[in-house]
Amino acid sequence: MSSNTITLIFCLGGITFLANWIFILNIYFRNNPIELNKSRSIKLLLINLLISTIGVLSMGVVFVSALMFSHG
């Protein structure tokens, strides 16, 4: 398996996670509007960034593992 294929699959896993995360956050904030001050906005941003980073890395690993498992 070439390095470019593995990199592409890893990036697709990360993009898939981010698209789902943005979709879920959009639905949540549309149904639950909240008022944010500066400190709460920064805290929310950092929490979302942490969750997104962990999710992107883990979904990339899952996609690459599935690719390696299915193609030997």
Domain total in the chain: 1
The per-residue pLDDT for 1 is 67
Integer Cα distance of 22 and 6 in angstroms? 24
State residue 36 phi and psi, 5-degree precision: -115, 135
Residue-number span of the structural domain to which 38 is assigned: 3-71
Regions of the chain with pLDDT less than 50: none
Give start and end residues of each alpha helix (H) in the chain: 3-31, 38-71
- Beta carbons of 57 and 14 less than 8 angstroms apart: yes
Q: Is the pTM here over 0.85, yes or no?
A: no
Give the Cα-Cα-Cα angle 54, 44, 18 (nearest 5 degrees): 40
